[in-house]
């Protein structure tokens, strides 16, 4: 991989062979709390206090400075470099080099407090920006080379997994799925079955299987993601709402319309409770529900649902985003089925135009299933169901690091 950061990380994997004799290893644990404005989608993704661990080594005597890894159950991991706790640079998973900083000051014997930019794992899946956070740390036992090696290995594993996901969302699905499955198998040897660190693995593997058309393979992964959210974040959490929406779409594409509708309506209820009925997040789930309604021949309700979905999906920063493309695609199918052919053509043309803009990662047609809604003619119609949603925009931000764009 051409990234200088990844070369450094790869070199760290040899630390058991080439570790400096003068290195002093250390482990700190503590709490991290984000300073986000309440009321926003991203604030809900990062609310509360997060457990954080920093494992590293200091090579002050040899001039090598400090290098360490920051990680936590529900946090995006980072690689740390610097010469002093007063100013350390951070590069998070998916970044080509250090783009963030952390400033620590002594708050007592073996204790530090300070500020940094960071991101929760769920915020990363929701494509949120990095946020300022406060951190409090205390030194704990575990000051050994083995702990450093384990942290380095996990960081490299996550980096390789993200690269595989990026390749798959580029269209190289057949190559990406085995690589991501292999990384997941290694990850599962370290973490319990419903650990938050497995969530992005379940999420992206489900996306890739869906893109490939392997819906039966996607559904168990979506269910696993829901279980992680319910256990660690809560049954009514933003995490559960997002992953239930994914599961509902997969169930609909498998023809399990009753369970799909129940799942999607539950996702909508959670989103409304957390973000409000006017939130753009609601529009994502409405896209999925509109597909179920079209599949089952409830065209009037489908049109009302799509009108709301399109309005809400245009609230995202880019009004011509892929969520809007899915709404327009489904409008086109609905208009065609109800004999409004001119409207159908206009909607499809708009959807295709948006699809071209997002086609390098998630072509709209990759997320459509040819179906025959009840009451339709013998013609088949494509209802756009699963769209990039969280995954695509997250990966747009790591294109340098994974070198696939």
Dihedral-angle region of residue 227 (phi above 0 means left; psi in -120 to 50 means alpha; beta otherwise) = alpha
Report which of 287, 284, 294 is spatially closest to residue 371, judged by C-alpha positions.
294
Label each residue of the chain as H, E or C. CCCHHHHHHHHHCCHHHHCCCCCEEEEEEEEEEECCCCCCHHHHHCCCEEEEEEEEEEEHHHCCEEEEEEECCCECCEEEEEEECCEEEEEECCCCCCCEEEEEEEEECCEEEEEEEECEHHHHHCCCCCEEEEEEEEECCCCCHHHHHHHHHHHHHHHHHHHHHHHHHCCCHHHHHHHHHHHHHHHHCCCCCCCHHHHHHHHHHHHHHHHHCCHHHHHHHHHHHHHHHHHHCCCCCHHHHHHHHHHHHHHHHCCCHHHHHHHHHHHHHHHHHHHCCCCHHHHHHHHHHHHHHHHCCCHHHHHHHHHHHHHHHCCCCCCCCHHHHHHHHHHHHHHHHCCCHHHHHHHHHHHHHHHHHCCCCCCHHHHEEEECCCCCCCCCEEEECCCCHHHHHHHHCCHHHHCCC
Say what the pLDDT of residue 292 is. Answer: 94
Query: Could you tell me if 99 and 91 are in contact, meaning their C-beta atoms sit under 8 angstroms apart?
Result: yes
pLDDT at 398 over 70: no
Determine the average pLDDT of the residues in 361-380. 37
**Which pTM does this prediction carry?**
0.80
State the architecture of 171-279 in CATH terms: Alpha Horseshoe (1.25)
Tens digit of each residue's pLDDT (9 = 90 or more) over 304-327: 999 999 999 998 878 888 889 999
Task: Give the pair of three-digit tokens for residue 189.
Answer: 């040897």
Mean pLDDT, range 178-184, rounded to an integer: 94
**Statement: residue 373 has pLDDT above 50:** no
Mean pLDDT of 203-227: 93
d(CA 380, CA 373): 8
Which stretch of 43-52, 58-67, 181-190 has the lowest confidence by average pLDDT? 58-67
Give the tokens for residue 93.
């998973």
Q: Average pLDDT of 239-245?
A: 92
Per domain, the residue ranges of the chain are: 4-147, 171-279, 298-363+379-405
Mean pLDDT of the chain: 82
Query: Domain 4-147 carries which CATH code?
Result: 2.40.160
Query: Using an 8 Å Cβ cutoff, are 382 and 372 in contact?
Result: no
**Confidence at 363, pLDDT banded by 50, 70, 90:** very low
Distance CA 25, CA 307 (A): 58
- Least confident window among 27-31, 314-318, 337-341: 314-318
pLDDT in tens, 156-173: 999 989 888 888 878 889
């Amino acid at each position: 991989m051409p990234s200088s950061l990844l070369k450094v990380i790869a070199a760290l994997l040899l630390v058991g062979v080439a570790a400096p004799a003068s290195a002093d290893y250390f482990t700190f644990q503590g709490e991290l709390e984000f300073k986000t404005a309440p009321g926003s989608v991203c604030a809900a993704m990062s609310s509360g206090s997060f457990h954080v661990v920093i494992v590293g080594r200091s090579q002050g005597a040899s001039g090598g400075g400090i290098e360490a890894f920051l990680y936590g159950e529900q946090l995006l991991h980072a690689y740390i470099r610097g010469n002093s706790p007063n100013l350390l640079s951070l590069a998070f998973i998916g970044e080509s080099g250090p783009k963030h900083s952390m400033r620590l000051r002594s708050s007592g014997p073996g204790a530090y407090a300070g500020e940094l930019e960071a991101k929760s794992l769920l915020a990363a899946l929701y494509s949120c920006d990095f946020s300022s956070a406060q951190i409090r740390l205390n030194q704990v036992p575990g000051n050994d080379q083995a702990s450093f090696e384990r942290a380095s290995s996990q960081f490299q594993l996550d980096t390789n997994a993200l690269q595989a996901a990026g390749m798959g969302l580029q269209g190289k699905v057949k190559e990406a799925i085995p690589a991501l499955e292999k990384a997941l198998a290694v990850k599962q040897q370290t973490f319990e079955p419903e650990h938050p660190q497995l969530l992005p693995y379940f999420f992206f593997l489900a996306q890739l299987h869906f893109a490939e058309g392997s819906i039966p393979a996607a559904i168990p992964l979506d269910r696993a993601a829901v279980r992680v959210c319910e256990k660690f974040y809560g049954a009514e959490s933003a995490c559960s709402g997002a992953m239930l929406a994914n599961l509902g779409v997969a169930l609909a594409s498998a023809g399990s319309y009753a369970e799909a509708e129940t799942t999607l309506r539950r996702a909508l209820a959670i989103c409304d409770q957390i973000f409000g009925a006017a939130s753009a997040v609601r529009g994502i789930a409405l896209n999925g529900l509109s597909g179920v309604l079209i599949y089952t021949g409830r065209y009037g309700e489908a049109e009302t649902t799509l009108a709301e979905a399109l309005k809400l999906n245009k609230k995202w920063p880019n009004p011509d985003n892929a969520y809007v493309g899915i709404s327009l695609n489904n409008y086109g199918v609905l208009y065609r089925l109800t004999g409004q052919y001119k409207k159908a053509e206009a909607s499809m043309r708009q959807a295709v135009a948006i699809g071209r803009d997002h086609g390098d990662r998630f072509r709209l047609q990759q997320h459509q299933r040819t179906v025959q809604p009840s009451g339709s003619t013998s013609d088949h119609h494509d209802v756009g169901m699963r769209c990039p949603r969280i995954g695509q925009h997250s990966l747009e931000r790591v294109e340098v690091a994974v070198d696939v764009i």
